[in-house]
Structure 1
Amino acid sequence: MPARRQLLAIIAALGLVLTTFLPSRAQTLTIRQAEALASYDRALAEFKSILAERRRQIEAKEPLPNLPGQALYLARVAVISTYKDLTDAMPSRIGRPNKFEIPPAYFDAEIEPLIDEYSKLFDVMEAPPANAQNSASPFKDVVDLATVIARAKGLAPDHADAAGRISLGLFFAETNGKQNVRNGRSNTYMGSFQTGPAEDRNGRRKWETIKGEIAAIDPGLSARDDKEEARARGTDQRFNHWTNVRDGLMNAHADVFREIPGIVKTLPNPIDQMKLFELIQIVPTPTRSALKSGDLLNYRVSSPTIMKHLRNNSIFAFGQADRARTSASFREILGAMWLFNRKFEKAMAKYAEIKGR
């Protein structure tokens, strides 16, 4: 027993020595690292708090604030952004891959359940209105409409097929493939293709100008269109899946379909093609200018307004280094659209399913 007590005393003494002379975790951090860690911890706590608050409000059936998803979105951005700052300061914090395919330097896989809850809350907040007119074939509708519009614009069959595939990517980018949804961050943009009232009207006018050509190319699709028009009459047609997709494509993308032969040469990766057309949704004017420039990938934007729009759509939005950017080439913009990759991969898989491949 005396020998055992002596051994315990030695171990206790050694522990005291180690405690005395080994610095604590906090003491080993630089000022930059400590600040980055504190910022991430605050952002994570705020994200958890707003998730819990929205869940409580929904379950208690309390009225939600205007734009109920905006605070959630900003809190999620802050978590990803501060984590990137943390891993820039402490590369050892970069962990394992995550199921969302977010680069590990931007996202701690341990908080995957929080993003799952985030998505579930948006599903509730953006649920279609009761009078929404769903389609039994929402994905095929997108492909069929885009393909026939591209053919009416003079594209050969293979390039018209590319228009169908790209447009399915847009459906996933805008709503993750959910039809007739509302928008938790906007009172303007609604429906499967998230259009505003003016965009919807403009797309409908443009459709009327090519309706005769559409009927000649695909009488069956034209007959379906007549039925959907009659069905949606007297309602907000953005909540009829068919008419919203049709008018959204006609408003923003139909004229750009003519550029697809050149686009696929410059951007052979189908996902990059989808990213470019999504930029038509986000920043249409500079994207069209880039296409006309003859040097798409090196075309540079530097407008503070354009950079703000990009950040508001999760491009150059995360971490101080990206947020400090004052300009970017389209090559850099496409590379920074990694948060869209998973959605476009889903679109590619669904397109292959539709085509029976």
Structure 2
Amino acid sequence: MPPASIAIDAIATTIGSLASVDFGHPGFVSPALAQPGPLTKAQSDALAAYNQALSNFKSILRQRRAQIDSKQPLPNLPGQALYLARNATMSAYKDLTDVVPSKIGRPNKLGIPPAYFDADLEPLLDEYVKLFEIMQAPPANAQKSDTPFKDVVDLGRVIARAKGLGAADAEAAGRISLGLFFAETNGNQNIGNARSNKYKGSLQAGPSEDQNGRRKWAAIKPAIASLDPALNLRDDKEEARVGQLDHRYNHWTAVRDALMNAHADIFPQVPAIVKTLPDPIDQMKLFELIQIIPSPTKSALRSGNPMNYRVSDPVIMGYLRNNSMFAYGRSDRARTSATFREILDAMWLFNAKFEKALSIFDEIKARSKG
């Protein structure tokens, strides 16, 4: 798993609507895949592989639903089998459309490129999302915030100011921080992780990352108190409130410590990053890569030409695939390297999450001006 985080499954936190699911016959093939003429061997093999992957995905969805509804104990990491089966289905579909391009169907509500996913199967992913929501629900003692989005923006902004940024660049840091919250949990507070026993909370930090962030926060707290006495008072109250509870299950301290652990040291580079990447979503993607592959991303920023910086370490490529980049189909998985521009472009499962973060950031900004 990545050294900094395993982002909550991008699909499992992208879809908002739910639907009743008709799993159909295990060998179901959607109308989009009906082949009018005889198949070549390659096409036949690809179709058979897709049917098998789809059948397996439906099977594990049914199994988890039955376990949850009957209140049976779930296995360790109950989301991992679902995640792998989902990936296998998307990969098999991409392999199929690679050999039968005419079978690429209509756009889907998830924003997944149609070559990777049959839109007729959206209800399966609706069920997938619902299962993850149940498996990753916050514990009963988690301490939520009534203003979770504003908290993230305020913390990102004040940390950036403490790192020496001016007001406009600190505003960008607050916006980026909100994007990270949505990338990691789609804006859900204090959640667990059905694919990891290590990463938890509103920014999916591990214990060591949380501890490191707490130490770094203590070091800049005097500057925070000077910059924003009201925020510093809120921080004191949250510290008293959390007591001996895992800091990752208090929304305020979880966000604060995670930002301090990995991202605060990069905030001084926000002006240069904004100049290189004027698109706010690209900025969010780059900071999410600080979360997923911190060392290569920092090296790319130091290179002076970050978008052309190439990653070729198989371990790093594996971390990217474990977070939904270059993960689906033989052609994508055969890649042995990628530039950061190519990596950002491959983060299409994050787009809807970042767009939501931008919309909420604009609402927060408008309210503060009002």
- TM-score bracket, normalised by the shorter chain, equals over 0.9
Structure 1 segments, 4+ long, off by >2 Å, are: 24-27
Structure 1: which 5+ runs fail to align?
A: 1-23
Q: RMSD of the TM alignment (CA)? A: 1.1
Structure 2: which 5+ runs fail to align?
A: 1-33
Residue 356 (structure 1) shift: 1.5
User: What is the aligned partner in structure 1 of residue 281 from structure 2?
Assistant: 271
Alignment of 1:51-66 (within 5 A): 51-66=61-76
Question: How big is each residue's C-alpha offset from its partner over 1:300-351, in whole Å with a ceiling of 9 and x where there is no partner?
Answer: 1111100000000000001111100111110111111111101111111111
Question: How big is each residue's C-alpha offset from its partner over 1:38-59, in whole Å with a ceiling of 9 and x where there is no partner?
Answer: 1111111111100000000000
Say yes or no: does 1:334 pair with 2:334.
Answer: no
User: What is the aligned partner in structure 2 of residue 93 from structure 1?
Assistant: 103
Say yes or no: does 1:182 pair with 2:192.
Answer: yes
Say yes or no: does 1:246 pair with 2:277.
Answer: no
Residue 36 (structure 1) shift: 1.1
Say yes or no: does 1:129 pair with 2:139.
Answer: yes
User: What is the aligned partner in structure 2 of residue 314 from structure 1?
Assistant: 324
Question: How big is each residue's C-alpha offset from its partner over 1:58-103, in whole Å with a ceiling of 9 and x where there is no partner?
Answer: 0000000000000000111111111111111111111111111111
Residue 31 (structure 1) shift: 1.3
User: What is the aligned partner in structure 2 of residue 109 from structure 1?
Assistant: 119
Secondary structure in 1 matching 2:128: helix
Say yes or no: does 1:258 pair with 2:279.
Answer: no
Separation (CA, whole Å) in 1 of partners of 2:269 and 2:45: 48
Say yes or no: does 1:70 pair with 2:106.
Answer: no
**Greater helix fraction, Structure 1 or Structure 2:** 1
Quick one: which amino acid aligns to residue 86 of structure 2?
Answer: R
Separation (CA, whole Å) in 2 of partners of 1:164 and 1:77: 33
User: What is the aligned partner in structure 1 of residue 212 from structure 2?
Assistant: 202
Quick one: which amino acid aligns to residue 252 of structure 1?
Answer: A
Say yes or no: does 1:296 pair with 2:306.
Answer: yes
Separation (CA, whole Å) in 2 of partners of 1:29 and 1:129: 51
Quick one: which amino acid aligns to residue 153 of structure 1?
Answer: K
User: What is the aligned partner in structure 2 of residue 10 from structure 1?
Assistant: none
Secondary structure in 1 matching 2:109: coil
Question: How big is each residue's C-alpha offset from its partner over 1:215-247, in whole Å with a ceiling of 9 and x where there is no partner?
Answer: 111100000000000000111110000000000
Quick one: which amino acid aligns to residue 71 of structure 1?
Answer: A
Pick one of 221, 225, 231 that aligns with 1:215: 225
User: What is the aligned partner in structure 1 of residue 90 from structure 2?
Assistant: 80
Contact 1:206 1:250 in 2 (8 A): yes
Quick one: which amino acid aligns to residue 123 of structure 1?
Answer: E
Contact 1:143 1:168 in 2 (8 A): yes
Residue 25 (structure 1) shift: 5.1
Contact 1:26 1:34 in 2 (8 A): no
User: What is the aligned partner in structure 1 of residue 58 from structure 2?
Assistant: 48
Secondary structure in 1 matching 2:199: coil
Q: 1:25 to 1:77 in 2, by over 3 A?
A: closer
Residue 28 (structure 1) shift: 1.3
User: What is the aligned partner in structure 2 of residue 20 from structure 1?
Assistant: none
Say yes or no: does 1:118 pair with 2:95.
Answer: no
Q: Which has the higher contact order (CA 8 A, sep 6+)?
A: 2
Separation (CA, whole Å) in 1 of partners of 2:331 and 2:39: 21
Asked which structure has the greater CA Rg, the reply is 1
Say yes or no: does 1:348 pair with 2:365.
Answer: no
Separation (CA, whole Å) in 2 of partners of 1:175 and 1:25: 39
Secondary structure in 2 matching 1:192: coil
Aligned residue pair count? 334
Give the TM-score, by structure 1 length.
0.92
Give the TM-score, by structure 2 length.
0.89
Residue 27 (structure 1) shift: 6.5
Say yes or no: does 1:281 pair with 2:291.
Answer: yes
Separation (CA, whole Å) in 2 of partners of 1:346 and 1:123: 18
Say yes or no: does 1:163 pair with 2:173.
Answer: yes
Quick one: which amino acid aligns to residue 120 of structure 1?
Answer: K
Say yes or no: does 1:323 pair with 2:339.
Answer: no
User: What is the aligned partner in structure 2 of residue 16 from structure 1?
Assistant: none
Say yes or no: does 1:230 pair with 2:240.
Answer: yes
Contact 1:152 1:217 in 2 (8 A): yes
Identity %: 69
Q: 1:280 to 1:30 in 2, by over 3 A?
A: same
User: What is the aligned partner in structure 1 of residue 150 from structure 2?
Assistant: 140
Q: 1:229 to 1:36 in 2, by over 3 A?
A: same
Separation (CA, whole Å) in 2 of partners of 1:204 and 1:181: 19
Secondary structure in 2 matching 1:114: helix
Residue 251 (structure 1) shift: 0.1
Say yes or no: does 1:39 pair with 2:49.
Answer: yes
Residue 26 (structure 1) shift: 8.4
